[in-house]
Amino acid sequence: MSETIVRVKDLKKYYKISSKTFLSEAKYTKANDGITLDIKKGETLGLVGESGSGKSTLGKVLLQLYNQTGGSTYYYGRSIEELAPHYVFKTIKSLEKDVKSLEANRIERRKYKAQLEKAEGEENIAKAQKAFDDADRKVDEFFDTTAKIFGGLVFSEDLSETSRVLQQWYQVRGLIIESEKELRINELAIDAMEENNDTASRRYTKAQENAKAAREKLTDLNKQFETVQTHLDAVRETAKTSEKYERYEARKDTGIDLTRLTSKELRNLRTDLQIIFQDPYSSLNPRMTVAQIIGEALVAHGHYAKNTQKLTDYIAKVMEESGLEPKLMHRYPHQFSGGQRQRVGIARALALNPKFIVADEAVSALDVSIQSQIIDLLRDLKEQRDLTYLFISHDLG
């Protein structure tokens, strides 16, 4: 069975059309309402609907380009442990309180269930039902947050120790991520200066010193991480003695809740999640060359240094994969046909080596003969790069 790469549950996206007043409630238009779906790794999922049905909105909400009003969106291309998001750290801090609240809510739920069974009269039954539903919702919230992240660890004998070790684990993991990024930035700066024969400058010496310091810091952090991992393994072994461990471990979900990420964390995930826009005209900056359009994100995410041969070579490679001649990289969008512009948009999306791409009516603005060429290209790229697509269209033609 294929792995799930994106999971959406009860997704909602509402737009406010009028504010609340003394005489009326706020009014909303529902672009997406209660959408639940799984997108499997390596598949192309088609999303078909008429104009104005909310299909493009859904694609953008999945990528968190638009904030969703409700529901959850999980991404499985990376694990929680790999990204170490801040929301997990916040959940760890409240671990003891959450587990105690779970037990209290379970007691309340049993009490209200008994009251509901004995209640007589429509009003009393309604009150008992509401009280039971509220307690039941609080129990479900625990499983949707805390238990989903930590699994069987929530029933460790010493929750204070478990919380302390988990906090250490995520703190050190977060520092490792930052140090790796710092080292990469300095190494890119060194490569760029060496390529431009700028090795005698103070900037070059400073970059060398910073890179050395980052390597030493990373070595120390990795040693700390090994120690903390040993402690966490010991805590887990202790938790396994609980009869509830396996049951709760089975509920563990390694997916990343995109709706709870900070803007910085989402930015780091943009390399995995990309979009091909519908309009090849307005989606490209007319003041930038093709090389600048494709290379912009590569530089911003620290994959390559600006104005280097390595960057130029990589842009040429991506252009060739997208069916464009590399010699055209210094041209501007207005110098291309519609089909070529869409290939530039595809190359831009491919450049960061994503895992999941939303193709938002990527061929609807093109001539029929060009549409088939672009679809064939997307199919070939999917096979070559093991991509997953959400393919949005207004018809099946």
pLDDT the model gives residue 135 = 66
Structure tokens at 331: 């041209």
Q: Of residues 270 and 140, which shows the higher confidence score?
A: 270
User: Kind of pairing, strands 256-257 and 70-75?
Assistant: antiparallel
CATH placement of domain 273-393: 3.40.50.300
Q: Do 157 and 238 contact (CB within 8 A), yes or no?
A: yes
pLDDT the model gives residue 259 = 93
Dist CA 26 CA 19 (whole Å): 4
Structure tokens at 336: 């291309």
Give the closest residue to 388 by CA, choosing from 48, 1, 4, 78. Answer: 4
Flag the least confident range among 30-39, 120-129, 279-288, 300-309.
120-129
Question: What contacts 28, CB < 8 A, 6 or more positions away?
Answer: 14, 15, 16, 17
Written as one letter, the residue type at 7 is R
Dist CA 38 CA 17 (whole Å): 30
How far does the chain reach from its first CA to its final CA, in angstroms? Answer: 30
| Gyration radius of the chain's alpha carbons | 26
CA distances from 88 to 4, 150, 154, 197, 258 (A): 21, 9, 13, 45, 12
Domain boundaries, the chain: 4-77, 80-254, 273-393
Beta strands in 117-226 (DSSP E): none
Q: Do 199 and 193 contact (CB within 8 A), yes or no?
A: yes
- For residue 66, pLDDT beyond 90: yes
pLDDT band at residue 12 using 50, 70 and 90 as cut-offs: very high
pLDDT band at residue 396 using 50, 70 and 90 as cut-offs: low
Q: Do 64 and 237 contact (CB within 8 A), yes or no?
A: no
pLDDT the model gives residue 99 = 67
Measured CA angle at 91 (ends 87, 93), to 5 deg: 120
The sheet carrying 44-48 orders its strands as 44-48, 388-393, 356-360, 273-276
Measured CA angle at 161 (ends 140, 104), to 5 deg: 30
Residue with tokens 């910085």: 264
pLDDT band at residue 127 using 50, 70 and 90 as cut-offs: confident
Classify residue 386 by burial, with Cβ atoms within 10 Å: 0-12, 13-18, 19+. exposed
